[in-house]
Structure 1
């Protein structure tokens, strides 16, 4: 796929949508999924998509009650990956703000697509779970 290619294409029948050249190649996916597949990173990206937030504001906005320690770890990892920018102001106590970088903002389109897909398929997923669970009563 070229850098400018953004259209979704359908592969020929029997061909995978994405394939790696070798098992070791991993298509560059593992690093990204390790970061975005954790419990809190997507929540942080979603909240920062609206704009700059201070640490405590960010912590309050994340549903599910993220601890201070876990939020610190999460924003540091996102900062290391170039998705979040951390700005420290020399006040007492120091004021710290977080915002998405340009690359972080580009991720929000994918997160929104995933959220839209989830909403669209929620009833079908619930039905599939109910069918599966009903067939597993003996286990």
Structure 2
């Protein structure tokens, strides 16, 4: 058998991220974990996903180090899923998806959930990608340096 030829996707961080958390259930599990959910039953009730699919996605997220399992905080025999520091670092991705959805998937004035700053109670401002000097970066002001 000849060795598999590498594809350009193998060197792409976006490809690897989408491969790991890009399906809807994984992202929604992460979203719910940010909202404080920890137990299998809570995830299932929130998402309405089949048990086998939820089990698969939770295992994948645990195996990837995004979630960790720990004993229930209330002392019961249950296990809880908690975000690891690696999982918590997905917060800007979830916020970016939320903000894109707010801008493009709701009619003006249509009600939707809102992410607010706990300190002020004010909505979280729109995220912007900035350069070292503070200039806002756009797709046309950046490029991907490909692996050769």
What TM-score bracket applies, with the shorter chain setting the length? 0.5 to 0.7
2:73 pairs with 1:98 = no
How many residues align structurally?
A: 98
> 1:95/1:23 Cα in 2 relative to 1: closer, same or farther (>3 Å)?
same
Which of 17, 24, 29 does residue 32 from structure 1 map onto?
Answer: 17
Cα distance per residue 1:72-96 (max 9 Å; x no partner) = 100110111111011246xxx9411
For 1:79 and 1:68, how far apart are their aligned partners in 2? 16
Scaled by the length of structure 2, what TM-score is found? Answer: 0.58
For 1:41 and 1:113, how far apart are their aligned partners in 2? 16
For 1:80 and 1:43, how far apart are their aligned partners in 2? 17
Aligned pairs for 1:81-120 within 5 A: 81-88=64-71, 94-120=77-103
For 2:98 and 2:23, how far apart are their aligned partners in 1? 16
The alpha-carbon deviation at position 105 of structure 1 amounts to: 1.1
**RMSD over aligned Cα atoms:** 2.3
The alpha-carbon deviation at position 123 of structure 1 amounts to: 5.8
Which of 79, 88, 100 does residue 62 from structure 2 map onto?
Answer: 79
Structure 1, unaligned runs of 5 or more: 1-21, 125-139
Report the equivalent of 1:41: 26
For 1:118 and 1:51, how far apart are their aligned partners in 2? 21
2:43 pairs with 1:58 = yes
Aligned pairs for 1:121-132 within 5 A: 121-122=104-105
Bigger RCO (CA 8 Å, 6+ sep): 1
